Structure 1
Amino acid sequence: ERWGIHRKDPKFDELESKTEMFETGVKVIDLLTPYVKGGKIGLFGGAGVGKTVLIQEMIYRVANNHDGVSVFAGVGERTREGNDLIEEMADSGVIDKTALVFGQMDEPPGTRLRVALAGLTMAEYFRDVQKQDVLFFIDNIFRFTQAGSEVSTLLGRMPSAVGYQPNLADEMGLLQERITSTRGHSITSMQAIYVPADDLTDPAPATTFAHLDATTVLSRPISEKGIYPAVDPLDSTSRILDPRYIAADHYNTAMRVKTVLQKYKDLQDIIAILGIDELGEEDKLT
C-alpha cells in the first residue's frame, strides 16, 4: 500500500474532543507542565541543553509504559545522532515498536523538508488503519523551517523577517494541523525545537507556539548546574494546568511550587546586588 505524504487533515466531526493527561513519569513535567494525550508538545532550547536526550528518554518510557507505537522523524540532524539513537533503542528493546525516518543535515533541502511529512504519514497510517495510539517525535522542527527557507530561496521567493520564507506560517500549519486525534485513537506529538541564540522571539520557534498544547523550555543556566532534564518551570506552560482538567491537589501544588520558585528568582537579583544580609528573616528561609 502506498500513501502520498501531502494529505488533508481530518474533518472537524472526526476529531476527538476529550482532554486527557498523558503521564510521562518525569516528575517535573507531570507536575508543572502536564502533557495532553493526543496533543502537541514543544521542547524548546538552544544547542546542547538536552532536547534530543529528553526525547530519547520519552521514547524509552512510553514504549515501556504505554500501548501503541512510536514514530521518529529525524529532520536535518546529525547522522551520528541517528546512529546513536538506533543503537540505544536496540539495546533497550524498544526498536520493535518504533518506526524511524531520517533526512540528515547533508541531504538536499527538499528531502529535509519532506521527511517530517513522511513521518507524519506513517503516524496517520498507524492511527487510521491499524487503530493504534501513536507517539510521534520530530527532531528538529527548526531544521524543517530551515529546509523550507532554503527551498523558498531556490524558488526565487522574496524572504520575509530575519530571512525566513514568506509562507512560514502556512508551511507550519500544513504540518501541525495534521497532528491530531480522531475518535478513539490519538497521535501525541513531541517536537524538539532549536532556539537560535536562545531567542524565543525568533520567527521559527515563535510560529510554532500557536499550535502547541504544552511548551517545555530547557534552560541553559539550569543545565550548567548539572540539573537534568533542564526544565525551566517558570517559562514552561501547559493548557491543561487548570483545575478543569487536573485534580485540585495537583493544580494547587503546582501553583505553590511556581510561587516559591518565582520568589527565589526575584531574591536572587536582590542578593546579587545587595548581598544576602539585606534580606528579611522570612526571605532568608525562602
Structure 2
Amino acid sequence: MESIRLNVSLLRKRVPNLTKEAKSIGLRPATVSNLCTGKIPLARAEVRTLVALAQLANCRVDELILTEEKGIKIETGIKVIDLFAPLIKNGTVGLLARPGMGQLALLAEVFYRLKQQRYQTLLLNPKKEDAALIDLKNEANTITKTVEETLQAFSEHCDGQDVLLVVDRAHVVSGELEAMLSDERSKQCKSLTTFLVDLTGEAVDDELPFGPLDTIWKFDPMSVAKKQYPAIDVLLSLSENYPLEQPENRLQQEARRTLRRYSELQSLYAVRGYEHLPEKESSDFNRGERLKAYLTQPFYIAEPYTKRPGQSVQSLQLFTDVQDLLTGHFDHIPANELTYIGQIVRD
C-alpha cells in the first residue's frame, strides 16, 4: 500500500518565501500551508494548485509528490524477526525487555544489517546511560542529545533517505517523540522507522508502555537463561499491520502452535521426566526443540566475542527451512546441530 504527500523539502529549498510567492500567483497561503503540514491531504489538492506550485519551484508536478510505502516488510535476515514479527517500513517498534536481555545488541545488529541496504541510522541518546549502548552507538550514523538536534539531523543528513531511529521511552512519556514526529522536518525522510526502548525495564509491566505500535518485540527470560539469542518471545511478539501472504501466514501460525506446544510440554514433563512423553507428544516436543534451536542466530556485530561468523537468511530460504522442520524432513538432525547456524545445509 502507498500514500502520497507533498515534497515540502523541495518546495522550501526552491521557494524560500513560499506563502508570499504563492499568494502572488493567486494561491491562498492557508491552503499551501495546510498542504505542507498535511492538514489537507495531497489527494484533495486541486490539479491547478499543484501545477502552480511546480511552476514556482521550477520542477515537474511528479517531483512534488512523494509516495510513502505502508505495510512493506523490511527484510533483516534475522530469522526470528522475519518469521514472527517483521519490521515494517514507516512503522513503530516497541521493545519489551528487562536489562541484560539483549535488546540493544539486537538493535545494533539491525542497524548494521540495514546500513548495507543504505538506511541512515540515528540514535537519540537515552537519558539513562547503559554500558550496553556501546555497540548501538558504533552502528549509528548519527547520535543526537536532544529532539532539536534530531530534527536538525533529519534536515542535514536524512533528506530523501530511509531512516531508522532509536528513541528511549523517556522521550515517549514526556511527549517529545510525538512532537518530533509531527514536526515538518521529520517528514523530509523518505521513510522513518522508529524503535522504542526502555532501559529501566519498567515497560514490561505496563499494559500500554509505548502507546500504539505496529510491531512488538518482547524478550523471553527463559531464552536468555539458556543463552538462546536473539531472545525474542515468539508467542508474544508480532506485527499488526504486515499482511503475510496466505501460505506464509499458515506457516507462521503452525510454527507458533508448535513452539507453544513445545513450551507447554517442557513445563509439564520437566518434573515428570521426558521419558514419559507419549509418542505423539514426543514428536511435537522434538520438532519444537529443533525449531527453537534453528531460530538462534550468530550476529555480525558479535563476531569478535563469539568467534562465530554472522549469518543472514533470506525469507524464501527461511520459510523453506521452517516448513521442512515442521513436516519432519529434519527429524534425523539433533537440535544442538541446528543451534547458531544460518540456513540448513541440505545433503
* Distance in structure 2 (CA, Å) of the matches to 1:179 and 1:211: 21
1:116-155 aligned within 5 A: 117-118=147-148, 120-122=150-152, 124-125=154-155, 130-138=159-167, 140-141=168-169, 143-144=170-171, 148=174
Change (3 A) 1:84 1:59: closer
- In the superposition, the TM-score normalised over structure 1's length comes to 0.66
* Distance in structure 2 (CA, Å) of the matches to 1:46 and 1:230: 12
Corresponding residue number in structure 2 for 1:55: 107
8 A Cα contact 1:41 1:213, kept in partner: yes
C-alpha deviation, 1:62, in angstroms: 0.8
1:257 alignment partner, SS class: helix
Corresponding residue number in structure 2 for 1:101: 144
- How many residues were matched structurally? 225
Query: Residue type of the partner of 1:191?
Result: L
Query: Residue type of the partner of 1:20?
Result: I
C-alpha deviation, 1:259, in angstroms: 0.4
1:216 alignment partner, SS class: strand
* Distance in structure 1 (CA, Å) of the matches to 2:183 and 2:226: 38
1:55 alignment partner, SS class: helix
Change (3 A) 1:28 1:84: closer
Query: Residue type of the partner of 2:151?
Result: T
Change (3 A) 1:196 1:40: same
Corresponding residue number in structure 2 for 1:230: 231
C-alpha deviation, 1:10, in angstroms: 5.0
1:48 alignment partner, SS class: coil
Corresponding residue number in structure 2 for 1:189: 194
C-alpha deviation, 1:256, in angstroms: 0.8
Identical residues among aligned pairs (%)? 23
Change (3 A) 1:230 1:180: farther
2:94 maps to 1:38: no
Change (3 A) 1:10 1:284: farther
Cα shift readout 1:84-107 (whole Å, capped 9, x = no counterpart): 554x44xxxxx6xx11114xxxxx
2:118 maps to 1:67: yes
* Distance in structure 1 (CA, Å) of the matches to 2:283 and 2:184: 46
Cα shift readout 1:128-154 (whole Å, capped 9, x = no counterpart): x7221211122x32x4367x4xxxxxx
* Distance in structure 1 (CA, Å) of the matches to 2:103 and 2:149: 19
Corresponding residue number in structure 2 for 1:259: 257
Corresponding residue number in structure 2 for 1:221: 222
Change (3 A) 1:281 1:75: same
Larger radius of gyration: 2
Change (3 A) 1:176 1:42: farther
* Distance in structure 1 (CA, Å) of the matches to 2:182 and 2:278: 51
Give unpaired runs (5+ residues) of structure 1. Answer: 1-7, 90-94, 103-114, 149-169
Change (3 A) 1:20 1:274: same
2:73 to 11, 15, 21: 21
* Distance in structure 1 (CA, Å) of the matches to 2:176 and 2:70: 27
8 A Cα contact 2:155 2:188, kept in partner: no
Change (3 A) 1:10 1:265: farther
1:207 alignment partner, SS class: coil
C-alpha deviation, 1:248, in angstroms: 2.2
* Distance in structure 1 (CA, Å) of the matches to 2:81 and 2:183: 25
* Distance in structure 2 (CA, Å) of the matches to 1:248 and 1:179: 38
8 A Cα contact 2:76 2:113, kept in partner: yes
1:269 to 267, 270, 273: 267
Give unpaired runs (5+ residues) of structure 2. Answer: 1-33, 43-66, 285-347
Higher RCO (C-alpha under 8 Å, 6+ residues apart): 1
